Amino acid sequence: MKVKNEVSETIGQAKKEEILVFKQKIEDLLPFLISVNIAEQKNKQKLGDKDRGFLEKIIDYCNHNPSLIPNYMDNAEMQKDFNFYRDLIELVRAFSTLLNKMEDTAMLAGTEALAAANVFYNSVKAAAKQGVPDAEDIYKDLKKRYPGGGKAKNDTAQTI
């Protein structure tokens, strides 16, 4: 039985290097990007869909009611941050779609390669049982991938 093959592509070293150059160009265009560790993320209030509408209302109210803005609040910076957020989220969504496609395609390619490898492994296993030359040595080496032989052992048997 032939293994189904949904992915049959190559990237090649030159194209991979070109893609990495583009990635670096993107990073160079966004030198202000920050990495935040998990502990820091937990301590930050995140802007969700409901918060976004609330924030847009606040900005609108601030623009129409400047007398209500406290003197210790920087309204222009809030609006700048929000516009920056919207621009970045648009890019995040675009790149998330691309990244998801890359991850899915890589997963399929790996799945297909492993399926073919398992076909070979089972073939070598059968050949080793039949005494085909060299098959036993290859099988012994490859079976290390499956310690225990794949069979559950019954450790619950009681002796009387």
Is the pLDDT confidence value at 155 over 90? no
Is residue 63 included in any domain, yes or no?
yes
Beta-strand runs (E) in the chain: none
- Count of residues in the chain: 160
Is residue 33 included in any domain, yes or no?
yes
Is residue 21 included in any domain, yes or no?
yes
Q: How far is CA 18 from the centre of its chain?
A: 21
Is residue 6 included in any domain, yes or no?
no
- Other residues' Cβ atoms within 10 Å of the Cβ of residue 94: 10
Structure tokens at 74: 């920087």
Domains of the chain: total: 1
Nearest to 142 by CA among 117, 108, 107: 117
The residue segments making up the domain with residue 141 are: 13-147
Is residue 7 included in any domain, yes or no?
no
Is residue 36 included in any domain, yes or no?
yes
Is residue 92 included in any domain, yes or no?
yes
Is residue 153 included in any domain, yes or no?
no
pLDDT tens digits along 77-120: 999 999 999 999 999 999 999 999 999 999 999 999 999 999 99
